[in-house]
Structure 1
């Protein structure tokens, strides 16, 4: 296993129980309310459309809240993640909710070797996933390999312009990190995570990469996908730039002034050409 996988897996294995216990992931609400959906999935309901009966796979599913939400909309869902601790929490949540979901442990780049190729109507990727992958071309190859002809990719992600901004600089929107994909990772050393928790991490080192929007689209086109929709948003579901954002009543955060300055997330859809 490469160094980046070892480091990132150790970090996510420690995050998983903290996230499952955090109110931000709303596990108890999922259990008590059979109609409850994650904020991320609910945001994109107008774009998702009717997914009843579709066979779907959620890549980099973490503790499975988006996976469960898609299943509640009628899709037959499988979740895939490289973190066994995350999948343990995902399976526990599914059992508590009485949901029939499959969860598979695998590195993203091996997904088409552990799941049936060409078998899925829907490949879904949620927010905050692509930055953990060193190369976007391999991701696009896997997406295309898993989909049936005519099958759809649906992804909402943090915008690569946002990832290039130094969140610690409060004197302006300072572009300090790579926008385009580079071989060298951005290395972080942080004992915290992005949800409210009293716990701290001991596996603190992580490696991340950015991928420009053009690079993502070009990779999908290269692997036989046709782009059908792309919407850039001025919001995202966490306070990415602390002290400079306001939250609305559905949990979306926006810049507190001049929102037109920076795209914060995007929703992209593509279909596999026949």
Structure 2
């Protein structure tokens, strides 16, 4: 793997996602009108009541989880690097009559005014685009109000490096400790849409963060680890058989900022943020 500046990686990844975004629409508007939730029961349980709370979703894609938070009464800011994803999210928010501020930003270089949140949330397929985990957790901690919570709901790093070879048969197709990867040795680890339209012919880099490195980064950022849950998902190991429920496919981590800590960033984060 070649060494690249983080800004170059972000630019390449933005182009990669822009190629995919027009083909990714998420849940239809009717799903939300009918009371559907883009958040799992486990996620809802750890987040709790968000009515009147300020929520930031990072790597929001087309913003389905952000819409769910908004329908539950939260004041929501949703960030992504792909403008086409954000356009899809804005259109759905308008159709639903909810207020979500969709902002085109790299989640590693957030505008200083994007701060002061009660909940910061990132969902499946988001953390793998973070090039520097320690820097990211420090940034997240800084943008969280005292008493706020970080919620990471993500593919399990074990799933990221294992490939199904048949019933009860797995092989190692990635490096659990290697961190950076260019492309995907196992196409099932790529965004699902690529299996229908193909992989865009542009360079892109993602990352595999071990649970140990994640927990360490969270603690070093001054956050308190509240919970770390691991879940099976047979659909994530197609063809493995009954033992697909014996190994983790996803995890859910929550960490909080002490109420005694003092915010280091300026107030009024929603005022004047540029919508790209």
TM-score range relative to shorter protein: 0.7 to 0.9
Q: Which residue of 2 aligns with 1:232?
A: 230
Aligned to 1:271: 256
For residues 170 and 196 of structure 2, what CA distance do their matches in structure 1 show?
A: 30
Question: Which ranges of 4 or more aligned residues in structure 1 deviate by more than 6 Å?
Answer: none
The answer to which structure, 1 or 2, has the higher relative contact order (CA under 8 A, 6+ apart) is 2
Q: 1:86 to 1:197 in 2, by over 3 A?
A: same
1:185 partner SS: strand
Match of 1:160 in 2: 157
**Residues 20 and 200, structure 2, Cα contact 8 Å, conserved in 1:** no
Alignment partner of 1:26 is 2:24: no
Unaligned 5+ segments in structure 2 are 1-5, 262-276
1:110 alignment partner, SS class: coil
**Residue of structure 1 equivalent to 2:265:** none
Q: Which residue does the alignment assign to 2:173? A: 176
- TM-score, normalization: structure 2? 0.82
Instruction: Give the superposition deviation at 1:138.
Output: 1.7
Q: Which runs of 5+ in 1 are unaligned?
A: 245-255
Shift in alpha-carbon separation, 1:234–1:145, aligned structure 2, 3 A? same
Per the alignment, in what secondary structure is the counterpart of residue 226 of structure 2?
A: strand
Specify the SS of the correspondent of 2:172.
coil
Cα displacement (A) at 1:120: 0.6
Specify which of 129, 135, 140 is matched with residue 132 of structure 2.
Answer: 135
Q: 1:211 to 1:56 in 2, by over 3 A?
A: same
One of 13, 17, 41 as aligned partner of 1:12? 17
Indicate if the aligned counterparts of 1:106 and 1:114 stay in contact, CA closer than 8 A.
Answer: no
Shift of 1:28: 3.5
Does the aligned pair in 2 maintain the 1:18–1:197 contact within 8 Å?
no
Q: Contact conserved, 2:77 with 2:101, CA < 8 A, in 1?
A: yes
| 1:166 alignment partner, SS class | strand
Measure how far apart 1:19 and its partner are.
Answer: 1.0
Pairs within 5 Å for 1:40-189: 40-111=39-110, 113-117=111-115, 119-167=116-164, 169-170=165-166, 172-182=169-179, 184-188=180-184
Assess, with a 3 A threshold, how the Cα gap between structure 1 residues 108 and 196 changes in structure 2: closer, same or farther.
Answer: closer
Alignment of 1:244-259 (within 5 A): 244=240, 256-259=241-244
